[in-house]
Structures are given as C-alpha cells and as structure tokens.
Structure 1
Amino acid sequence: KSLFGISLNEVAFETGEAWAPDLRKIELVEENGELAGFLYLDLYPRPGKYGSAAHFQISSGRVKPSIWSKKKPVASAALVCSFNASRSFPLGLSSNYLLTHNEVQILFHEFGHALHSLLSRTELQHLAGTRGELDFVETPAQLMEYFALDERVLSQFAKHYITGNPIPSEMVKDLKASKSMFQAIHIQQQILFAMFDQSLFGPDFDHSAGVNSEKTNKLITKLEEIYRGFPHEKSNFWHARFTHFVSYGATYYSYSYARAFAADLWHTCFASNPLCRQAGQKYRDEILQWGGVKDPNEMLQGMLGRPLCVDAVVKDLVE
C-alpha cells in the first residue's frame, strides 16, 4: 500500500472457484475503493502439480468496459509455487509456514509478474500485462527481487515467529553479503545458459535426424569450456532438465537483459526509499499499466528520465 496505493485483502472463494485445498484468494483494492483485481495463491506442492514457481494470467484489466457486460473486466492472476509445506511453525503456534529467504525472493519475483498482469490497463488482452516483448518481460519480476533484500521492506513482515521482533540488521547485512558472494560466477552461468539456448535454436546447430543427447552434450561441452573455463562433466545432462529452454526457447538471454534494466530502475528510483508512494505511482504510470503496448525503451526512459545505463548492474557485481 505504501508503494503502489493498493490494499491486499484476503477474501473467501466463490462456490467451485478453488481448484485445490490450501489456496488463498487476495483482492487488490485501489485507494479510491475500486477493485483492481484478484490474486490466487497456490504455494505448496501436491501430487501432479507443476513443480516449479510460475505466474499465470487468468484475465486482464482493460481501459474500456467490455462490449458485452458494459463493465470493465476485473484482472486476475495465479501465483503458483511449491514451497516446503513441512516447514511449519514449531510448538503448534500457527497453521502458517516458515519460508527461507530464497523462497521469499521467489515469491517476490513471481509477485512482480503478477503486479504486471493485474495493474496493466490496455485495450487488447493480447497486449495486457506480461504479454509483451520477451526482452523486457522479466524486468518487473527481477526488480521485485531487490525489494526482497532491502531491510526497510523486510522489516515490514520478516519477524521472529515467537517474539515478533523484526529481522536484525546484522542478519540482513550477512544475507546480502551471501547473495553477492558469487555474483560473477552467477553471471557467467547465465551467459552460458543464454549461449546454449541461442546455439540450440540457431542455424548452425545440426537439426537433421532430430535432437539427441550426443548432439546437445557436444554443444554444451564446447560452450562450457568457453564460458565457464573448465571442462564439462560428460555424465551430467543438466541441460536436459532445464525447462526454460522450452518455454523461453531462443530468448533466455532476456533474463540478463532484465537484470540490467531492473538494476538501473532500483538504484535510480527506489534504492533511496523503497516505500516511496510517488516512485511507486510513477512505476505504475510509466511501465506497469502499459503491458506490451509501448516500446520498453520508451517506458524505461520515461521512468528513469534518461536512456538506460549499465553502470547499476556493474555496481551490483563489485559492491
């Protein structure tokens, strides 16, 4: 609410609306009382469920009322994760669950996507929310990860489950240090993933007679020597389990693009005050509301007040 002027209220499901137990339904309400949308939380694993974290847009908000109902459609989205449900509060103090910080960061990441879907207002649903250019679509999600590492944000909700005391400053400092410890190696790995993706879908890869493990292992062996600097373990077929090569085929590089965009947005607009209402409203006005309608470069320049700069992402690597 401090940042975006949105209240989050848990509400009951309509009859037949929930598709599984342990779901939660959240309504988003504007400062003027207008309903902004609904967010469905499906956070814990169950047999047959998608095992990773994802956001799914169900319906999109529109600028104009529907020609059928004469009302503006209400946006809705689902945030789906598979957090460890066995990590419940000790001593029977609550029916809720404890989350690791990595899980909190995943939650913030997917919530960034959800906000993009729920707060966009376009004329065409095919351009609503995350339905935009893949070079940019991960930016709102990666931006929210910065909020999940800021003490001023964490202190709003990260409290000891018994005492209620906010997370200590020293713990946040150590947490940030641990996250940045191997950032250069992480960037190296992301570049490797992106180059494998580009090579796999590129014109130089031998697609005759299909794709098999021999071909992909030959490719990954070559790329790991170039981008990691040490030999590939031939018995390791990690790339065969990396589903982003299917869902993000030939566009995995967009995660690295988005990281640079998000770093500049964070350090320029939010780092000094991550709960600034004016900055949050400007972010809604310049980026979130447009979905995929406007050129990302135009949106970023409108938010930053200048062209994009890579200095911020470099700063994250060295500090």
Structure 2
Amino acid sequence: MDNPLLKNFDTPFQTPPFDKIESEHFMPAIEEAIKEAKQEIEDITSQSTAPTFENTLEAMEFAGEKLSSVTSILFNLNSAETNKKIQEVAREASPILSEFGNDIWQNADLFERVKAVYNQKEQLQLDNEQEMLLTKTYKAFIRNGADLNEKDKARFKEITKKLSQLSLTFGENVLAETNDYELVISDEKDLSGLPDSAIRQAANTAKAKGKEGKWVFTLQAPSFVPFMENGDNRSLREQLYKAYMSKANKNDERDNKAIIQEIVNLRSEKVSLLGYDSYADYVLEERMAESTNKVQAFLDDLLQQALPKAQEEVAEIKAFVKELGDDSDLQRWDWGYYSEKLKKKKYAIDDELLRPYFKLENVLDGVFQSAEKLYDIRFKEVKNIPVYHEDVTTYEVSTTSGEHVAIFYADFHPREGKRGGAWMTTYRDQYRKNGEDNRPLVSNVCNFTPSSPGNPSLLTFNEVTTLFHEFGHALHAMLGKGRYGSLSGANVYWDFVELPSQIFENWCYEKECLDLFAKHYETGEKIPQEYVEKIKASSTYHEAYATVRQVSLALLDMGYFSLDRKEAQNIKDVAEFEGKAMAPTKLFDKVEGTLMSTQFGHIFSGGYASGYYSYKWAEVLDADAFSLFKEKGIFNKEVAQSFKDNILSKGGSEHPMELYKRFRGREPKIEALLERAGLK
C-alpha cells in the first residue's frame, strides 16, 4: 500500500498531506515508525563510545520523529474531525504507543547512559537549555519506572496501557452524548426571547438534520448558551440544562462513572509504585505550584476572597427575579437567563448589541494585527496547503522582514466530528537540527457561532476573548526559538502554559485594540466608545460567581487526585464524591441526575489531572504581567519584545519562575488579579 504518512511530505512547508491520508494508513505507518524509532534507540544503546550529552541526550531527543508526526496527525484528527474509523484506529494505536513509550523509559541500557551523563552534569558546562533537557529526561526515566523491579515495571506498563484506553473511551462517550442530543421545537412560541441569530441557526440545524420547518437546539456551545441565556420557556431551559449536565451519566453503555473510578484507582496505583502518596504529589512535583498544600492554600485563599461576593451576586439575582414578579425558586437553569437580563438592565449591553461589531473574519484580522504590532509578524492566507476539512483555513506566518515563522491552521465552527471546546495544538513543534530551524505547524480549533445563508459568523464577546485566548497559545508555539522540540513553544510547566493565552485576552477590553477590528459588519462603523466602556464596566459582572465555579472544578480535580492509595480504591459513589469535593463552593442545590465528573474531559481525557487550578494560577501571572503593558502602553514595543524574548520564545528551556522574573523584574503578585476581578 502506498502510504503517504511514511513518505517525506511533498507539500508546502512539509505540512501533513491531508488530501491523501486515509484512516487505513495509520496503523501500518505507526507500526513502521515504531520499528524505525526502536532502531534509533538501539543505535544509541549499542554504540561503544562513552555516553555524552550529544550521543545520548540529543540523539534520544531526535529519535522517533516520524512516529511523532504520524501520531500528532492521528490524535489531532480524533479531536477535530473524527469518525468511527478514526476512533477505532485511536483505540487500537493507544495501547501499542503506551507500550512503546514504556519500553523506552524502562530501557535499562538507555537509562544507564542517561544516568552516566546526568551524574557528570556539573563538569559538562551545559547551557540552560541543555541542562533542562538532561534533567527533564533523567527525571522522566525515574517517573516512568526505570528504577522499578521487573515485577513492578510490568505492572506499570500494564496500567499505562489501560489508562490510555480508558481516557479515549471517556472522551468518545462525551462526544457521542453531545452529538446525539436534540431539542426539537415545533411551536414558534417556544422560541420566545431568543435572538434572531440563534433562531436562524436552529432552523439551519433542523434543515441539515432533515427536519425542515422546525428548530433544533443542541449541546454545542453556540446553540446551548444562547438558549440558556435568552429562552423564555423555563421548562425547555430545564430540559436543555439537564441534558447538558447529565452527559455520560445515564447508567448505560456510555456511562463514565465506572471509567472514572478505574482511572482514579489506576493513576493512584501507578504512582504508588514510584513511591508517591498521591497522583497529585506526582504531578505537582513538575509544576510551579510544587505541592498539593500550596495548591490547596491558593484555592482556599481565592475561595475566601470570592465566595462572600458570589453569595451576594446570587442573592441579587434572587431579588431581581422577585422584582420581576416571578415567585419560583431560582434554579441552575435560571441562572444564565436572569443573569443576562440583569446585566442588560445594569449595563445596557448584551451579546446581540455587540455581535454586529464582531464578524469572525474581522476579529481574526484584529488578532493578526495585534500580533503584528506586538511581535512584528504577519499572516498571509495560503490556499495550497492540504486541510482535513473545508472549514479549515491556512496562513503562512512570517516576520515583517519576510522570514518564515510558522504555518497556522484556523478551524472555528462546530460539527459532529469535532469535540466541544476550544484548543491549540501542533502538528510539528519548533526545533533546530543539523543547522536547520524547523518551524512549527500550529492549529487553533474552536466551536464558534457559524455563518448561515446570507448571514456572516457574528461572535459573542465571550467568543472574541476565546479566540484571543487560543491565539495566545498559538503565539507561544509559533515564536519558539529553541533547539529541542520537547522544550519548545507551549511545552512548559502546565501551570505556566496558560499565561501566554490568558494575557492576550486583556487586549479585547482596550479601545486601542478594539478599534483595529470591531466595526459594524454592515456599516463599517467602529464600535462606539460607550460600548467599550460598557464592556469594561461589565467585565467584573458576576466575576466572583465565575471564580467560585473555577475553584469548584479545581477542588473536584484535586479531590480525585489527592487521594492516597487506599482512598482511591474506595470511591464507591462518584456522585457522592463529587458532592463532597465541591461542597465548599455550593451556591445552588444539587440537581438530580446531573454530574460534572462524567463529562470532565480536562482531567479524565485531557492533560489537566491535578492541574485544573492552573487556569486561576495563570490568571495571577497574566494580570500581573498585563499591568506592565497597561503602565507602558498595550502595544509598547519594549515590553512586547521583553515578553517575546523572556516568555514566548523560551518555551520550557528554563524554570518558568526564572523566565517570569526576568520579564517582570520580580515574582508575580495576586493584587492585580483581585483588582481586575473586582474582588479587592
């Protein structure tokens, strides 16, 4: 079989040849690439020369390039444009890849060579990046069982393989539950309160599903959120909310509760083999936060600041409901609806007022212009790069002087093959080899309000900030200037990775930035100053409530993964466990049948286990860092250059606190976040 995955990509910038790749190409390519990678490792371990940084650490870093390329394509497709065949391949490949990874990290001969270099690192005169690669690689061997006895090594491998399968199944169940649900409306009066854009989109969805003349709402954010915030029909809001919050919690073949118990148990067992008390202890050893105690203290402090104000916000909404003459008890499916109504009353602003100024193409252009003003890079659409779906647009990124920087894939609208949410990913990280700088292939994948016949895609302000957020991640990946892909771009400590994304959101609130792109899609009129002032004034609206929600999710995450071995084995009831973990943040009574855990992909099928706190942790960093831009000017070249040189281009080549201090001149302070969030 002629397999495009096994050839050198004869495409512009060596991008993946999506137009030639079929699902049946993956397994043969993975098997061949593993064989090739094993030979490269064998070449390292069988050499007669003494171990050096170059012949061992660098050689290992560059081994398995083809395998990395093939698997990045497979798993990115499994998130952005999957189908049953791709899911089957991912299920088949995951345990094989886990086994291969275990074979590498538990290769005694390879570990001996790495250890020999590590033991003489003080005499080697390595630079910061080389020392980080050596330390990180040595630790990775230890953390992946290289020092275990043969019996424990075998069990470690078995657990790793099983966990990779469970994580995939968890995500597939959530995606299937999301795709299968439809709220079909036949009576036009049930659309009362909904904006025209939501009604049009629901009609288009119905038409696409063969239900002409009706309206279909789904659990995808661009459909779900407008209904929950604007739909007057309370019983339908309740129905939609319960459907959303009961994903993979129906005691059927897609139920994730048993999978959660098994994942928690196996992660605990895996790290106990290495001598850790809990999975969180294992994870946080390689984070800025360093320990469960420090994370817990951080979350407790935030909760103490935010909870009283959040309770006031809930009480204010309850009073507002009574003021409107509604005697019903405020329920979770009412929160978004009445919160939006009060926001309109207080600030005379809502999504529908702002949407006309946020045409997707204009917002993307604004993102590009902001990046150019800050970092001297330009974006040019290119149409000869193969894509995996017609929705995807590609751009060449170059410096203002014409030097190639990266390729950027933009994929912005929901579809059945795409999981929910928004993320940045790469098909190739930046690295240097044999004197050549291999530039990255970077992708943003989102689920924004799509266009419809005769109507462009007009974003909510929240979607605007999401685009800036994910593009901040993309800049981190694009602007890498390291030698090693494993340390380049966004390959940093997990609680540092959100700084480049979250800081970029701040520009959305500044008139100087908004004037670059926020113009009425019909008249071309720039967004009025009064609207910008209303955006800013409303930016702290229910921020305490939002903070408590984030803390509640972080507590749930830490609750599962701070368990010791015995506790992890004894989770009898996932719903009961979740209730206890989130109890300190309780603002509403539990809704029967709903559960966060069964759809919490961040920690059970993503990389955020013991790391969900990092969103708030990084907010401290981003608020503190942006305060310097505010002081000097949001497009100040000197500050931007410093942020680029000390943060964006450095990746994970040094400890993040050292990078941050080099940029800011000191460690971060929480005051800027509390002030921005209105929590002081």
TM-score norm. by structure 2 comes to 0.43
Higher mean alpha-carbon deviation, 219-228 vs 99-108, is at 219-228
Instruction: Give the aligned partner of residue 5 of structure 1.
Output: 376
The structure with the largest helix share of the pair is 2
Q: How many residues align?
A: 305
Confirm or deny that 1:207 pairs with 2:565: no
CA apart distance, 1:223: 3.2
What's the counterpart of residue 98 of structure 1?
Answer: 458
Distance (Å, rounded) in 1 between the aligned partners of 2:582 and 2:416: 35
Counterpart for residue 625 of structure 2: 265
Task: Write the distance in 1 (CA, Å) between the matches of 2:533 and 2:586.
Answer: 29
Question: What is the aligned partner in structure 2 of residue 85 from structure 1?
Answer: 450
**Secondary structure at 1:207 match in 2:** helix
The equivalent position to 2:532 in structure 1, one of 165, 172, 179, is: 172
Between 1:112-121 and 1:164-173, the stretch displaced more is 164-173
Counterpart residue number, 1:93: none
Secondary structure at 2:580's aligned position in 1?
helix
Q: Does 1:236 align with 2:604?
A: no
The Cα shift of 1:302 comes to 1.1
Query: What CA deviation, in whole Å up to 9, does each residue of 1:20-41 have, x standing for no partner?
Result: 1022111111133211111110
* Residue equivalent to 2:440: 75
Instruction: Report the alpha carbon displacement of residue 177 of structure 1 after superposing the two structures with TM.
Output: 2.7
Q: Which whole-Å CA distance do the structure 2 matches of 1:186 and 1:272 have between them?
A: 29
Determine the structure 1 residue equivalent to 2:396. 27
Q: 1:89 to 1:141 in 2, by over 3 A?
A: farther
Tell me, yes or no, if the aligned pair for 1:87 and 1:98 is still in contact at 8 Å.
no
**1:10 deviation in Å?**
1.2
> Aligned partner of 1:193: which letter?
L
| Residue ranges of structure 2 left out of the alignment (5+ in a row) | 1-371
One-letter amino acid matched to 2:381: E
1:225-263: CA deviations, max 9, x gaps? 312355433432133222112211111011110010000
Q: Structure 1 residues 313 and 285, CA, compared in 2 at 3 Å: closer, same or farther?
A: same
Given that residues 6 and 29 in structure 1 are in contact (C-alpha distance below 8 angstroms), is that contact kept between their aligned partners in structure 2? Answer: yes
For residues 2 and 240 of structure 1, the distance between their equivalents in structure 2, rounded to whole angstroms, comes to: 43
Structure possessing the higher radius of gyration over alpha carbons = 2
Superposition pairs of residues 217-296 of structure 1, within 5 angstroms: 217-246=575-604, 247=606, 248-270=608-630, 272-296=632-656
Equivalent residues of 1:127, 1:292 under 8 A apart: yes
Partners in 1 of 2:509 and 2:453 — Cα distance?
A: 23
The answer to whether the aligner puts 1:52 opposite 2:421 as a matched pair is yes
Q: Does the alignment pair 1:141 with 2:501?
A: yes
Secondary structure at 1:72 match in 2? strand
| Partner residue, 1:39 | 408
Give the AA of the match of 1:262. D
- The aligned residue for residue 485 of structure 2 is 125
Work out the CA distance in 2 between the residues paired with 1:215 and 1:26: 48
* Contact preservation (8 Å) 1:270, 1:279: no
CA displacement at 1:224 relative to structure 2? 3.2
Corresponding residue for 1:301?
661
User: Partners in 1 of 2:528 and 2:675 — Cα distance?
Assistant: 25
Higher relative contact order (CA 8 A, sep 6+): 1
The equivalent residue for 1:108 is: 468
Q: Report how far residue 272 of structure 1 moved.
A: 4.7
- Out of 220-229 and 51-60, give the one that drifted further: 220-229
How far is the alpha carbon of 1:215 from its aligned partner? Answer: 2.2
Other structure's SS at 1:290 match:
coil
- Residues 89 and 161, structure 1, Cα contact 8 Å, conserved in 2: no
Are positions 1:61 and 2:423 aligned together? no
Bigger mean CA deviation after superposition, 4-13 or 113-122: 4-13
Letter of the aligned partner of 2:558 in structure 1? Q
Which SS does the other structure have where 1:264 is aligned? Answer: helix
